[in-house]
């Protein structure tokens, strides 16, 4: 079990879902992953922590009206830990990012900022206080991988390398993000055949059995975009969506 008590600056640390129907989404994910949901009220809304055993693994909130009015579908967000959200935001802007929301306090949990990289993919900065992010990682029911789909992988690689010090591996077909020597995510060029897919970050969750998870997604009213598929000899993945349309992926580690 990979338990986290802190994250170094530049590490992925959290993911949350913004959706048009939080109650329906809560029912879907708690049934699918066996998560427990703990809701807390704050001025203007409710935020739900999803937990596996005693560990926070993901979050859930209502999608802001300014997003739905622009036709943005429900989606999972990706957070990267930083030691100074203002300073990293300023550096990101100097490297060509767009600042969507300057750093602000999230009660006593932490401080966050919202940006889009130079290719248009939105990501979040998280400066932790009481909440470090996910306290379980890479185990069934927990996040394990983050993937950037973009129109310009080389521009994205240069940006994130300059901002966070990330390096890249993989090959021309699929790149991998390497943070502190650990392979933690991927980067993939958007194919025009996919249709009008904007640059985006997506979240992967580890499962015991990808095929069984996909069957359950179908039963619960979700969609399957890529059915279970082997990744070499090391694992098996699938790309899915919940009934509200938020895309996510699951990963079965065969070496387990």
Beta-carbon neighbour count of residue 234 at 10 Å?
11
The 10s digit of each residue's pLDDT in 148-207 is 999 999 999 999 999 999 999 888 788 899 998 888 899 999 988 888 889 999 999 999
Residue 256 pLDDT: 45
What confidence tens digit (pLDDT) does each residue in 207-229 have? 999 999 999 999 999 999 999 99
Predicted local confidence at residue 178, as pLDDT: 93
Average pLDDT, the chain: 94
Q: Which residue has the higher pLDDT, 142 or 172?
A: 142
> CA-to-CA distance for 49 and 256, rounded, in angstroms?
27
- Residue 99, pLDDT above cutoff 50: yes
> Residue 255 above 70 pLDDT?
no
pLDDT at 75: 96
Taking residues 138-143, what's their average pLDDT?
Answer: 95
Residue 44 confidence class, pLDDT cut points 50, 70, 90: confident
Fold of domain 143-253: 2,3-Dihydroxybiphenyl 1,2-Dioxygenase; domain 1 (3.10.180)
Domain covering 12-128: architecture: Roll (3.10)
Span 59-87, average pLDDT? 93
Domain pair 12-128 / 143-253, same fold: yes
Sequence ranges of the domains in the chain: 12-128, 143-253
Q: Which of 166, 179, 172 is nearest to 153 (CA)?
A: 172
Grade residue 233 by pLDDT with cuts at 50, 70 and 90: low
């Amino acid at each position: 079990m990979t338990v986290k008590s802190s994250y170094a600056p530049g590490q992925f640390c959290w993911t949350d879902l913004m959706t048009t129907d939080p109650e329906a989404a809560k029912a879907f994910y708690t049934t699918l992953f066996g998560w427990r949901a703990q809701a807390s009220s704050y001025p203007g809304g409710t935020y739900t922590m999803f937990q596996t055993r005693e560990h926070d693994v993901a979050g859930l909130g209502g999608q802001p009206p300014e997003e739905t009015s622009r036709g943005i579908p429900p989606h999972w967000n990706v957070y990267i830990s930083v030691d100074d959200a203002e300073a990293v935001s300023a550096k990101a802007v100097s490297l060509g990012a767009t600042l969507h929301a300057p750093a602000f306090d999230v009660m006593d949990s932490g401080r966050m900022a919202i940006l889009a990289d130079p290719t248009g993919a939105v990501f979040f900065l998280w400066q932790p206080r009481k909440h470090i992010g996910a306290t379980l990682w890479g185990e069934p029911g927990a996040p394990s991988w983050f993937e950037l789909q973009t129109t310009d992988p080389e521009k994205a690689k240069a940006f994130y390398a300059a901002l966070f010090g990330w390096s890249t591996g993989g090959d021309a077909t699929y790149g991998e993000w390497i943070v502190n020597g650990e392979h933690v995510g991927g980067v993939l060029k958007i194919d025009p055949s996919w249709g009008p897919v904007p640059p985006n970050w997506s979240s992967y969750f580890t499962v015991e059995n990808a095929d069984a998870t996909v069957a359950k997604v179908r039963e619960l009213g979700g969609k399957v975009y890529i059915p279970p598929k082997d990744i070499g000899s090391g694992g098996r993945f699938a790309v899915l969506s919940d009934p509200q349309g938020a895309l996510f992926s699951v990963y079965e580690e065969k070496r387990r």
